[in-house]
Structure 1
Amino acid sequence: MLPITEVRIHLLPISKTNLRAYASITISGCFVVHGLRVLQGEHGLFVGMPRRKRESTPSQDIAHPINTETRQQIESMVIDAFTEAMAQRPMHPVEHDRNPPGHAD
């Protein structure tokens, strides 16, 4: 199995959809796969593989693991990176007071 050497997460604004983030993985420091999706399902988070939309047929995976071990490795690393990114996300925007105490207009 080739090592996943980097995972990048792009968090999305909180919404009513089940899509939480996009992810990219780098394999062995030399091959990048973009367009992975972190999704919220009924039983928790899962990773969707990159897909191509088609007009006449259902969408189709562009890239996907061909064995369970690789799928589990990708899913584990992407969800761990997503969890870490969420922990670093501020819960509320910081409000900056234009007139701090002791400052007159």
Structure 2
Amino acid sequence: MVITEVRIKLCEENSERLLAFCSVTFDNAFVVRDLKIIEGAKGLFVAMPSRKLADRCPKCGGKNHLRARYCNNCGTRLDENRAVRLGDGRVRLHADIAHPIHAAAREQIHNAIIKAYYEEKEKAQQPGYVCTYDLDDYDYEDTPVTYTSVAAEVARSVQPHPAHSPVKGTHFTPSSPPARPSAPCDEENAPSRNSASSLTPSATRGNTCGT
């Protein structure tokens, strides 16, 4: 395993114990973010990226952080001493997301990060200092594909079905409705329904009244 890059983001001076965030790249192929440099009682140590541990409410089964005194779902009071304690008596509230599995790897990562931390502090004192932690890790010519770009490309490539396409040569818009008869039906001169049977077939066909 080769550590090819370490990026440091210094925290503000008013932070009590958290000194910096960092990201570590391995073999120019894999990066781990959000490691923390913390000032402890015995000096600086590196905390791996982690998540909060949770358990389930005995009444409703809802998930709650181990520090929660009441269930977020049903409001039931929870046991404040339910968290697992480590050998030194500390409460285990977080679980590492990524971490080394043996002491040699942990020491290698720790030494590389602490060295980069002190180098970053020296760079921060120089004029024109720019933190590289938040810079993109890819070239703009090789930008990762996003859902939005894929959806836009699909929308451009989809063609309307021929059955739904307008007939060539026709034009209809809401502002130009179909033409209506120019002259209204003369109801006074139109024969009644009762006298329709006395009309000849030719007369019936010639009647344009809408009755």
1:90 partner letter: Q
Q: Please give the root-mean-square deviation of Cα atoms over the aligned residues, in Å.
A: 1.5
**2:20 matches 1:21:** yes
Unaligned 5+ runs, structure 1: 92-105
Unaligned 5+ runs, structure 2: 54-64, 67-82, 84-92, 127-211
- In structure 2, the residue matched to 1:51 is 50
**2:60 matches 1:60:** no
2:30 partner letter: F
1:17 partner letter: E
TM-score (norm 2): 0.41
- In structure 1, the residue matched to 2:7 is 8
- What are the residue-to-residue correspondences of 1:78-97 with 2, within 5 Å? 78-90=113-125
Q: For the residues of structure 1 that align with 2:106 and 2:48, how far apart are their CA atoms?
A: 10
* Bigger RCO of structures 1 and 2 (CA < 8 A, at least 6 apart): 1
- Give the drift of 1:16: 4.3
Larger Rg: 1 or 2? 2
TM-score (norm 1): 0.79
Q: For the residues of structure 1 that align with 2:17 and 2:11, how far apart are their CA atoms?
A: 11
Q: For the residues of structure 2 that align with 1:15 and 1:81, how far apart are their CA atoms?
A: 21
Percent of counterpart pairs with the same letter? Answer: 40
Tell me which of 104, 108, 121 is aligned to 1:73.
108
- In structure 1, the residue matched to 2:40 is 41
- C-alpha spacing 1:43/1:66, structure 2 compared with 1 (3 Å): same
- Secondary structure at the aligned position of 2:28 is classed as coil
Q: For the residues of structure 2 that align with 1:16 and 1:36, how far apart are their CA atoms?
A: 16
User: What per-residue deviation string (whole Å, max 9, x for no partner) do you get for residues 32-77 of structure 1?
Assistant: 0001000111121110111112323621100110000000000000
